[in-house]
Amino acid sequence: MMQTASIPADSSTVIGDDSMRKNKYFMGISLGTPPVFNLVTIDTGSTLSWVQCKNCQIKCYVQAANAGQMFNPYNSSTYSKIGCSTEACNGMHMDLAVEYGCVEEDDACLYSLRYGSGEYSVGYLGKDRLTLASNRSIDNFIFGCGEDNLYSGVNAGIIGFGTKSYSFFNQVSQQTDYIAFSYCFPRNHENEGALTIGPYARDLNLMWTKLIYYDHKPAYAIQQLDMMVNGIRLEIDPYIYTSQMTIVDSGTANTYILSPVFDALDKAITKEMQAKGYARGWDERRICFISNSGSANWNDFPTVEMKLIRSTLKLPVENAFYESSNNVICSTFLPDDAGVRGVQMLGNRAIRSFKLVFDIESMNFGFKAGAC
């Protein structure tokens, strides 16, 4: 239970740190009594939060010193494992398609998470006091205490903002005056971003589209209707766009689109770039270019727009493209079969420096470029 009766909004600083893990964004939380600081990845594409725990025994990773101490549940006077027959345990098992996960002699619920990247975390489902950046605390915060973790980063773990009741966002938002969250991930890691849970600053410059709960994943989605390169529509049947929604996934770097859309986008961008003297890269599944003059001019690159319901997401050149290596510039768009086949995802590279608003009460998604 929240110690204060109501939280108008709770704000945290967001940072990018490639030494922790490239193309991820982090915020600080504290768990336990006394509180232990942990730097965790912000992930709108997953639900259950987890941190690596001190009693990790199977597969563990080296946690960076500035990510905080590894959480030791035995040192927290407020930590407890969640029982096997509890609603939280049964609901989590059903959502994650875990057929059975329980240590009966300890009456301890187990969790098992696997990500599209192949990474995973397995451990005990527990609850403890969560302290936010504002120093407000939530008792009985549900999270995973990871004891078997295949993870490529060196930060403390992941916090999920997905749609289920036990997500970080939904546990915190129960005590806010308005059910929403917003964030801005900085393009330059020297800058700081921000994340707010609860009421957000209303901005007339925000563009809005419909926010949708994705069918079989605990994630938020938007509906793409069309796509343009330099203002010209792609040569593709518009029906293909509406066959799948697009998940907004802060934990994924690139943007994945259906293969027919990718092929049409590739054709349109390549036509524009070859006309300006750029050579197309050899990899058919990545849209990359090399300047024949030896250096790339960002002004040469075309604009890319994604038409949505009620609005259009216009990507600045530095969001639609990035420097993969010296003088090699690539598009942030990849075909769906390079990720999870049949799943479209709007990754963080395309919308860095954008203010994004997930207004759950009105089921609207807002965006504004150049906000951080």
pLDDT band at 3 (very low <50, low <70, confident <90, very high): very low
pLDDT tens for each residue of 298-340: 889 999 999 999 999 999 999 999 988 777 899 999 999 887 8
DSSP-derived secondary structure letter, 266: H
Query: Which tokens hold the place of 80?
Result: 């407890």
Residue tagged active-site, from 17, 128, 249, 359:
249
pLDDT of 2 reads 34
Q: Are 279 and 270 in contact (CB under 8 A)?
A: no
Q: One of 10, 17, 43, 336 is an active-site residue; which one?
A: 43
CB 70 within 8 A of CB 54: yes
> Residue 224 pairs with which residues in a beta bridge?
308
Percent of the chain with pLDDT over 70: 97
CATH of the structural domain 10-197, one choice from 3.30.70.3280, 3.40.1190.20, 2.60.120.560, 2.40.70.10: 2.40.70.10
State how beta strands 355-359 and 333-335 pair. Answer: unpaired
CATH class in words for 207-369: mainly beta
- Where are the chain's structural domains? 10-197, 207-369
List CB contacts of 180: < 8 A, sequence separation 6 or more.
Answer: 173, 197, 198, 199, 200, 357, 358, 359, 360, 361
Average pLDDT, whole number, for the chain? 90
pLDDT(212) > 90: yes
128 is catalytic: no
Please confirm, yes or no, whether 249 is among the known catalytic residues.
yes
Cβ 280 vs Cβ 288: under 8 Å: yes
CATH topology identical between 10-197 and 207-369: yes
What does R_g of the chain's alpha carbons equal in angstroms? 21
pLDDT value at position 99?
65
Higher pLDDT among residues 8 and 1, named by residue: 8
pLDDT in tens, 21-51: 888 999 999 999 999 999 999 999 999 999 9
Strands 50-52 and 157-160: antiparallel
